[in-house]
Chains A and B, each alone.
Chain A
Amino acid sequence: MSATQERPAGPTPVEEKAPSRLVPVGRFVLTLLRMPSGLFGVVVMLGFVVMALTAPLYIHPDDLSVTQATGPLLAPPQHGYPLGTDPAGRSVLLLVIWGSRTSLAIGVMATLLTMVLGATIGLVAGHYQGRTGRLLMHVTDWFIALPGLPLAIALAAVLGQGAASITIAIAVTSWTGTARLVRAQTLAVGARPFIERARALGATDTQLITRQVLPNVMPLILVSSTLTVASAILAEATLTFLGLGDPTSVSWGSLLNNAFMQGAVTAGAWWYLIPPGIAILIIVLGFTLVGRAVEHALNARVQSR
């Protein structure tokens, strides 16, 4: 589900037999929160989102300003700078907090794009089971086989640098998983009697897809999106590290890119290297745990049925 981190060790796949109806929300959330890992994931996820959204309240633009920075240059942690400073004398802690905004924004945007792309193709392929569906599935299978990072690099190189091209590159290399999932679910839903009923009542294909199939596939899409955000954040960091991002924006990937390029390794500036990576680790872990917990919750329901 990612451009760069095609590591199956992580999340287990969402079972293709997801429920056809939304689990009553309250019970579902309860199931989720009863799992310690799920609870941890939710806390981390919400914590980061809140931190990112409220950052402007406690981080003054001057704190991020290179010209207003008053700290020592590239100095280890000390009083007033719990995580040390960068070469311009800014607090690494504040930079990492601020970086969550860009990283989360790109992660979420890329996920949205992935979902729209994947869901559309999956729905169409599942609904039109003839030649169109088969062709679309062949294309999907072929895309799955492509190595993600080289393709993303090629795309980003061609599209030019910046957040937009990274977002597109991530989406183009990650939609396949969603498409497969959605197609399978669409097939399952399509076999249900109420679809037949709607068709008999004269519903058009578009109506069928948007009114009947989509609502039933939606929960599945949401579940898989949690996992996609995790891999999209990883992909963003990787592509930005390789120099495909906007070099002037503050994101976790660009912090690491700067550190690498400005010789932080030889200087032994571990305080500049470690925090952004830990932030990525925690947030990816959070999203992954939530995704897995949601899966389990859904599966439990499926099994109990």
Chain B
Amino acid sequence: MTMSARGSTRWLSRRRKVAALAVAGLAAATVLAGQLGASSAQASSSSDTTLTVPADTQMTTFNPFLSYYDGELNVIGAIYPALTMLDNNGEPIPYLADSWTTSPDKLTWTFKIHPGLKWSDGQPLTAKDAAWTFNLIMHNATAATSNGSLVANFKSVTAPDDTTLVITTKKPQANMLYLSIPVSGIPIVPEHIWQSHVAGLKNYRNMDLPVVGYGPFVLTGFKTNQYAEMTANKGFFLGAPHYDKVVTNYYSNSDAAAAALTSGELDQIGGLTPAQYKAMSSRSNVETYQTQSNGWTAIEINPGAQTRSGKPLGTGNPILKDIRVRQAIALGINRQELVTKVLGGNGIVGAGYLPPGYPQFFWKPSASEALNYDPTRAKQMLDQAGYKMGSNGVRVAPDGKPLEFRLGIHSDDATDAAIAPYLKEWMSAIGIKLDVNAMSFDQLNNNLAKGDWDILMDGWSTGPDPTYLLSIQTCGTLPEDNGSNGNTDAFFCDKKYDKLFAQQQTQFDAQQRAATIAKMQSILYAGNADLILFYKNGLDALRTDQVTDYLQGTKAANGFYPLQHGFTSWWKAAPVAGAATASEKASQQSSDAFKWIGLGVLVVLVVGGAVFLLRRRTAAERE
């Protein structure tokens, strides 16, 4: 589930996801006192079937205008509708919108909204709700917090009648059908509920249960950073979910989540470490599976940080401006070994800028373009470029400066720390010295923005529409002269790339657009500012004795499943006949003999203490 579709449009997707479950978790807030009188998550009718999955991240708000954590977005995607959704191949298909047309100038989109739907409180769900939601995001800065960039190109959104939604854009927008999809796109909210929350939107966490919405599920239970409970909408117009309830549990550490799958508490788990994945594979009632990656891990090399007007910025080492040095670095890295050792083989060697989770955009360099591991060629290249080997094993530039660079890594990321020594050794083999600096997420990004860096570890994941991920490589995202308003990934700037970027935005033919995007990736690859190291597979596991039909799509030749979307999986998954229901599971757990031992230990201690004290007293009296 960690591989759920993730909006590339969310700036926080950078590094966040990687860190989500395994490390930078947040404690499940379990307030003993607060439990008094709290209703049970599964207090409802005993025959209910419940699908229990881990929440990818903490959950603190379900306000769809502010939320940006995967854990929250997965829930929001299931309880609020969107115009379209994705099929198993990642193509948009109808959801609220039964059909759509575009005007000849490609500037006006007309969506036909499914008639006769009702919000969970019985009020009609119409195109007016959709128009209101889009307009709020377009005109209210707070409402634009998480999805504002998706509507940046919108001119107007109107609902001429209950079943018609008309969106006009400033420029043609090829990715329109990806803008309002579950989880990574814009969710549509009921106007009659939300209009009273507009004033206090900033602090509204949307926790009035049951939350009025529409989708395969309704949010009916929640405990901050502990769990969210959704009840099936049996009247869902696209087909009722097979489970009565879906519970997403937040685990603060991946070992705890793995143990929960083993005990049967969880039905599915994602984001396992290679060691955990291996340990899980040996269990008979567990199916481990790998999903194609929707992101990559890379190093970025400072190609000469500059502002939009071309003013140099920061303290980056000027030697790295020399593309031959960057190429030599690329040649010096053995990506296959990183996949084998750091990922335990569970990944794909990196090259193209867009991840293999979206096969339509997946690009590989041709044999002549490819800079594969070849330290000998790297050394020759540096020799020819005039970087002579120094006496201490570090090359020096013609001006006498050593080829010594800072490598910034994320201190909270175990993968970064694991990769760093490999890079250090490979670079040392070709005469380049790396000084590894571990930095917090904030510090690293601050240095990045100011141009105060040489080489940094980088990682991104993206949703099905790559526009945002591609945009951060355009010249327009370089900072202004005062250093502000920058959003660049690696200070890459190439006019040809920018032109292609603008072109693909207006290409409505999927194949033409993919061809343009392939050209852009080729430019990025040749630029050597981002060296994609690998695409890390999602390492997931499923309790096959408890749940079926969870996995969508078919295994590819390499044994990997396509990217999975929590929204579809929860909706389509079905309980295995005869598997324990929620209340049975709970009672099994509570009657677990071991727990009684725990209680026993406590009782013995308390009684023992009391006896100890009493004996003392009686001894005194006996005296």
Contacts and interface: CB of A to CB of B under 8 A. Distances in A.
Q: Direct A–B touching in the complex (beta carbon < 8 Å)?
A: yes
Interface of A: 65-68, 73-74, 87-89, 160-162, 243, 246-248, 258, 261-269
Interface string B316-349: 0000000000000000001001000110100000
Contacts of A74: 275
Interface string B420-447: 1110111001000000101100010000
B290 to A, nearest CB: 16
Interface stretch (B97-105, B163-171, B211-219, B410-418): B410-418
B101 to A, nearest CB: 51
Contact of A267 (B278, B337, B412, B426): B278
B161 interface: no
Given A262-B275, A262-B418, A263-B272, 15 more contacts: A65-B421, A67-B334, A73-B341, A87-B341, A88-B418, A88-B421, A248-B409, A248-B420, A263-B255, A263-B276, A266-B255, A266-B258, A266-B279, A267-B275, A267-B278
B425 A266 contact: no
Interface string B510-543: 0000000000000000000000000000000000
Given A66-B341, A261-B22, A267 B414 contact: no
Contacts of A162: 438
A250 to B, nearest CB: 9
20 contacts: A66-B421, A66-B425, A67-B422, A74-B275, A87-B274, A87-B344, A160-B439, A162-B438, A243-B412, A248-B417, A248-B424, A258-B418, A261-B22, A262-B274, A263-B22, A265-B255, A267-B275, A267-B276, A267-B279, A269-B275
B385 interface: no
Nearest to A88: B341
Contacts of B341: 66, 73, 87-89
The 7 closest A-B pairs by CB, nearest first: A267-B275, A263-B273, A247-B417, A261-B414, A263-B275, A266-B276, A263-B276
B259 interface: yes
A264 B275 contact: yes
Contacts of A262: 273-275, 414, 418
A66 B341 CA distance: 9
B426 A67 contact: yes
B254 interface: yes
B613 interface: no
A269 to B, nearest CB: 7
A267 to B, nearest CB: 4
Interface string B577-599: 00000000000000000000000
A129 B254 CA distance: 56
Contacts of B344: 73, 87
Contacts of A160: 439, 443
A67 B337 contact: yes
B5 to A, nearest CB: 25
Nearest to B424: A248
Nearest to B258: A266
Interface residues of B, number: 36
Nearest to B345: A73
A258 B279 contact: no
Nearest to A268: B279
Interface string B187-218: 00000000000000000000000000000000
A38 B344 CA distance: 47
Contacts, number: 87
Nearest to A267: B275
Nearest to A162: B438
B418 A263 contact: no
A75 B210 CA distance: 50
A134 B107 CA distance: 79
B152 interface: no
Given A65-B425, A73-B341, A89-B341, A247 B22 contact: no
A265 B278 CA distance: 12
B502 interface: no
B27 interface: no
Contacts of A263: 22, 254-255, 258, 272-276
A263 B418 CA distance: 13
Interface in B250-293: 254-255, 258-259, 272-276, 278-279
A161 B275 contact: no
Contacts of B255: 263, 265-266
A248 B275 CA distance: 20
* A68, A161, A265: most-surrounded residue (chain B CB, <10 A): A265
B47 to A, nearest CB: 33
Contacts of B258: 263, 266
Contacts of A265: 255
A6 B273 CA distance: 35
Contacts of B254: 263, 266
A66 B428 CA distance: 13
A162 B417 CA distance: 13
Interface string B13-28: 0000000001100000
B465 to A, nearest CB: 33
B276 A243 contact: no
Contacts of B417: 247-248, 258, 261
Contacts of B426: 67
A89 B342 CA distance: 11
Contact of B414 (A65, A67, A258): A258
A66 B273 contact: no
A247 B438 contact: yes
Contacts of B436: 246-248
Nearest to A74: B275
B22 A243 contact: no
Nearest to B262: A266
A258 B411 CA distance: 12
A36 B18 CA distance: 52
Contacts of A264: 275
B411 A243 contact: yes
A61 to B, nearest CB: 9
Nearest to A67: B425
Nearest to B272: A263
